[in-house]
Amino acid sequence: MDIFEAIESRRSVKHYDPDHEFSEDEINRLMSAAILSPTSFNMQNWRFVVVTDPDLRKELLAASYNQAQISEASVLIILTASLDAYKQEPEQYWHDAPPETAKAMVGMMTGFYEGNEQLKRDEAMRSVGIAAQTIMLAAKAMGYDSCPMIGFNPKKVAELINLPDNHVIGMMITVGKALKPARERSGQLPLEKVVLRDRF
C-alpha cells in the first residue's frame, strides 16, 4: 500500500472481529516496523508490551472503562518508555558506529538528559508518539485497522503489566480486523488555520 494511501485511509476503529488472531510472524513484522521509528540519540527508549493473554486483557478491559476494543482486537499494544534509557548501557545504541562517533554521542546523550526530569518525560512521549504512528500505518499497510487510546486508568494498567518505576505509559493501540468501519471523518481544519510560514 502506498504510504499516502495508508495515511488517508487510517482511521480509529472501535469494533474488531474477536475471533481473528494474529500470527507470531505478523506480530513480529508489526513490531519490527515499530523499532525503526526514530528516537533522540538513537536511544530507543520505547518499550512495547504486546498483550495477547485473554485473562490479562479482561483485567485491562476493566481498567479501560470497558471499551470493547481492548478485548476484541487481535492485539493490544501498550506503549511505554524508559526514562533512564539514556544511561542504560548507552554504548549499545551506537555499536555499529565508528568508535569515536559512539564515544561522542554517548557523552552528549548522558549530559543532555541527566538531572532533567521534564526533558526525560517529554522525550519519552515524543518517542512513543512517533512509534505509535509507525505502528498504525504499518498495520494499515498489512491490511489491518487500529485505534490509539488514552482512555484508561494509568495506575491500574501500570500495576497489571508490572511497569517498572522508571517507566511511563504513553498510550495503548489496538490492532485487528475491523468488524465495523470507523465513523466518517468529522472534519479537518483547513491548512491555512494550522500551517504557518516562518512565524506566527
Q: Are the C-beta atoms of 181 and 11 separated by less than 8 Å?
A: yes
pLDDT tens-digit profile, the chain (200 residues): 899 999 999 999 999 999 999 999 999 999 999 999 999 999 999 999 999 999 999 999 999 999 999 999 999 999 999 999 999 999 999 999 999 999 999 999 999 999 999 999 999 999 999 999 999 999 999 999 999 999 999 999 999 999 999 999 999 999 999 998 888 888 999 999 999 999 99
Which pLDDT score, from 0 to 100, does residue 185 have? Answer: 86
The domain limits of the chain are 3-194
| The one-letter amino acid at 61 | L
> b/e per residue, 60-99, with b = 16+ CB within 10 A?
bbebbeebebbbbbbbbbbbbbbbbbbeeebeebbeeeee
Q: How many residues does the chain have?
A: 200
Which pLDDT score, from 0 to 100, does residue 84 have? Answer: 96
Which pLDDT score, from 0 to 100, does residue 183 have? Answer: 86
Which pLDDT score, from 0 to 100, does residue 1 have? Answer: 84
Which pLDDT score, from 0 to 100, does residue 184 have? Answer: 86
Say how far apart CA 1 and CA 191 lie, in whole Å.
25
Say how far apart CA 187 and CA 139 lie, in whole Å.
23
Which pLDDT score, from 0 to 100, does residue 4 have? Answer: 93
Spatial CA neighbour of 177 closest among 72, 70, 67, 46: 72
CATH C-level class of 3-194: alpha beta
pTM of the model: 0.94
> Cell for 200?
506566527
Which pLDDT score, from 0 to 100, does residue 66 have? Answer: 97
